[in-house]
Amino acid sequence: MHEISAQKRVFLFLQGPHGPFFARLGQMVARAGADVWRVGFNAGDQAFWRDRATYVPYLGTPEDWPARFADLVEAKGVTDIVLYGDTRPIHATAIEAARARGLTIHVFEEGYLRPYWVTYERGGANGHSRLMHMSVADMQEALRLSDMEAPLPPAQWGDMRQHMFYGAVYHWFVMFWNRRYGNFRPHRSISVGREFRLYLRRLATLPLTWAERVLATARIRRGGFPYHLVLMQLEHDSSFQKHSPFDTMPDFLKLVIAGFAKGAPRHHHLVFKAHPLEDGRVDMRRAIFEAAAEHGLGDRVHYVRGGKLAQLLNDARSAVTVNSTAGQQVLWRGIPIRVFGDAVYAKPEFVSDQPLEAFFQRAARPDNRAYKDYRRFLLETSQLPGGFYSVKGRRQLLRQVVDMMLSPDDPYDALIHGTAAPRQQLRVVT
């Protein structure tokens, strides 16, 4: 097994998930013996990094960032960069420059098998992940070196409320304490002030949303009709913006409704499941029911706001999505799925390529054995138990991820080379 060492390593942290995870991670990497620095681009970044001695504020313009990044790498002797999400402009620029200099690029993302795991990869995630170019046969060959069963889902971390809370706090700092960072430009298309108000509104309306969701779910489950599920995504999310063929989520919704109207049996229904963090910046409900009315489907189309997916998935006949990670839950249950964007799980063995009309008529079933091998490969490599936002989730994640960051092998090569640490068989909480 390769020796895990932090000697002569210098880690430069860029933007992380909302909350204290990057600060905790940096502290542990430093305790291992590496040098750690953090670049902050706004007051929210600064608020969650308490060590002022290692904090480097970036006060320049977006245009000046490439030169400043190069200067930092040279001045600090940076060997590794650490970031959350690889598509926001400041990260994409840094990754390109880091790759040219031969630096190690550590990328964190929400879990491909969320909500119980998070993603840790090197070089890129989602549509830029190494998984995009790996076949199921490659994964099955790598698994020959492991005789472990796939880890069970761990205890629920309870991240959603914490995620929303830290998002609101982060945007509060950016909105009211950002004078020092006058050149900061958010990577979102809306203003920081509006995003902050959306976070507050979502927190304030949680009880109303819960009641609406319970009623909608009850109507579907008691309706006694076959239904197909549409897994909606956040229109501003990087997976949708960078790795899909659609400009807007309504473009996708209209395509699905048209295909359903042409192909689905007339007694089938269509259920749209909103993303748990949908904040209303686009009126998805209106877009759905306007398109449904155009095709005479008003009484066969349903909309469910947020909540857990399992209750709806258990009885679904099929699912359609752009490239939502929730597609993994569909495949885990052996349900047919049609995907339109780039997704790490879009393998021909278990994702349909049928025209949408034919898919709704008679969807091809996935190869469940192949998917189980794929899922086990992910759980042995890039999917780590834990979460970014809750105390328990961070604690669990930190138990394993620092050693993986210090390893000379990335998560996929570690399994192939036999250097991967064993994964814990965490218990299921019911």
Claim to verify: residue 14 and residue 150 sit in the same structural domain: yes
Distance of alpha carbon 265 from alpha carbon 222, whole angstroms: 19
Q: What is the DSSP string of 209-251?
A: HHHHHHHHHHHHHTS---EEEEE---TTSHHHHHSSS-SSHHH
Distance of alpha carbon 142 from alpha carbon 127, whole angstroms: 22
Q: What is the DSSP string of 316-365?
A: -SEEEESS-TTHHHHHHTT--EEE-S--TT--TTTSB---HHHHHHSPPP
- Position 238 scores a pLDDT of 76
C-alpha neighbours within 13 Å on the C-beta side of residue 23: 16
Q: From 21, 129, 166, select the one nearest 82 (Cα to Cα).
A: 21
Claim to verify: residue 140 and residue 244 sit in the same structural domain: no
Q: Which helix (H) or strand (E) holds 192?
A: helix 192-204
Claim to verify: residue 89 and residue 131 sit in the same structural domain: yes
Render pLDDT for 239-267 as a digit per residue (tens, 0 to 9). Answer: 888 899 999 999 999 999 999 999 999 99
C-alpha neighbours within 13 Å on the C-beta side of residue 212: 13
pLDDT at 122 > cutoff 90: yes
Q: Report if residue 300 sits inside a domain.
A: yes
Q: Which of 330, 346, 362 is the last residue of a domain?
A: 346
- CATH number for the domain including 47? 3.40.50.20
Number of independent structural domains in the chain: 2
Claim to verify: residue 33 and residue 139 sit in the same structural domain: yes
Q: Report if residue 2 sits inside a domain.
A: no
pLDDT at 192 > cutoff 90: no
Q: From 289, 311, 285, select the one nearest 298 (Cα to Cα).
A: 289
Given the DSSP bridges, would you call strands 104-110 and 227-231 parallel, antiparallel or unpaired? unpaired
Residue 37's DSSP bridge partners are 12
Claim to verify: residue 15 and residue 148 sit in the same structural domain: yes
Claim to verify: residue 306 and residue 401 sit in the same structural domain: no
Q: Report if residue 367 sits inside a domain.
A: no
- Position 145 scores a pLDDT of 77
Q: Report if residue 299 sits inside a domain.
A: yes
The residue range of the domain holding 276 is 225-346
- Position 156 scores a pLDDT of 62
Q: Report if residue 358 sits inside a domain.
A: no
Which residue pairs, CB below 8 angstroms and at least 24 apart, start in 109-113?
109/84, 109/85, 110/325, 111/325, 111/383, 111/384, 112/325, 112/328, 112/344, 112/345, 112/378, 112/382, 112/383, 113/325, 113/328, 113/375, 113/378, 113/379, 113/383
Q: Report if residue 187 sits inside a domain.
A: no
- CATH number for the domain including 317? 3.40.50.2000
Confidence of residue 427 (pLDDT cuts 50, 70, 90): very low
Q: What is the DSSP string of 413-428?
A: HHHHHT-PPPPP-PPP
Distance of alpha carbon 112 from alpha carbon 98, whole angstroms: 25
Confidence of residue 429 (pLDDT cuts 50, 70, 90): very low
Claim to verify: residue 238 and residue 132 sit in the same structural domain: no
Q: Report if residue 120 sits inside a domain.
A: yes
Claim to verify: residue 327 and residue 408 sit in the same structural domain: no
Render pLDDT for 286-337 as a digit per residue (tens, 0 to 9). Answer: 999 999 999 999 899 999 987 778 889 989 999 999 999 999 999 999 999 9
